[in-house]
Amino acid sequence: MIKIYMKMKKLWYLPMFLLILSIVSCKGQPVQSESNSNGTSELIVDVQGKTNPEINSSPVHLTKADFLQLVMDYEKNTEKWIYLGEKPCLIDFYADWCAPCRITSPILEDLARDYSGKINIYKIDVDVEKELAAVFGISSIPTFLFCPMEGNPTISSGIANTPEATRELFIKQIDELLIKSKNNTTI
């Protein structure tokens, strides 16, 4: 009886070892576009501290520290939304493993070039920046936060049925929520 138990115990270790090995080996490396050698995001600024739209024509990955400096300091302003940006922005809350997020990524790259100098497009990885995701109550991804220069931000979740329809949806939301004059006409 003891010999059978010992054999079963040894056989149990093998599947556990293989399971752990497969989990560790399947864990992909995070995509680090827009990052420097130590993995932090880089935002190019000119000598006056302004972001350079010619250089920053692709989405910029934000950390919590970047968000507090460039978008809103929710630690200081707990009661009211006070936008700190120089231009309206679109923030993509995403994860590398999310299929719809991977669909939106090239669309946002194109829109960052198309709207360069007019809006900033930021990306926040919810697996890395869990506090930011919690602050905004992000429960499904992709989720998009549209931050106008004045007023409160608008949050949107999900994508359209096709990449083309998703691009058109983004264009409509950017034009209506971010690029508008005081009398609500598109600039």
Q: Tens of pLDDT along 118-168?
A: 999 999 999 999 999 999 999 999 999 999 999 999 999 999 999 999 999
Contact 131, 64 (CB under 8 A): yes
98 part of the active site? yes
- pTM of the full structure: 0.68
Q: What pLDDT is attached to residue 17?
A: 42
Counting as low any pLDDT under 50, the low residues of the chain are 12-54, 181-187
The fold of 60-178 is Glutaredoxin (3.40.30)
* Cα gap 146→148, rounded to integer Å: 6
* Cα gap 80→72, rounded to integer Å: 10
Helices (H) and strands (E) in the chain — how many of each?
5, 5
Alpha carbon separation from 129 to 38, 65, 101 (Å, rounded):
17, 10, 16
* Cα gap 146→92, rounded to integer Å: 9
Q: What pLDDT is attached to residue 3?
A: 57
Contact 62, 70 (CB under 8 A): yes
* Cα gap 172→187, rounded to integer Å: 13
* Cα gap 153→177, rounded to integer Å: 9
H or E stretch including 135? helix 130-135
Q: What pLDDT is attached to residue 57?
A: 77
**What amino acid occupies position 44?**
I
Mean pLDDT of all residues belonging to the chain: 77
Alpha carbon separation from 123 to 9, 25, 60, 157 (Å, rounded):
47, 27, 6, 14
Q: What pLDDT is attached to residue 78?
A: 87
89 part of the active site? no
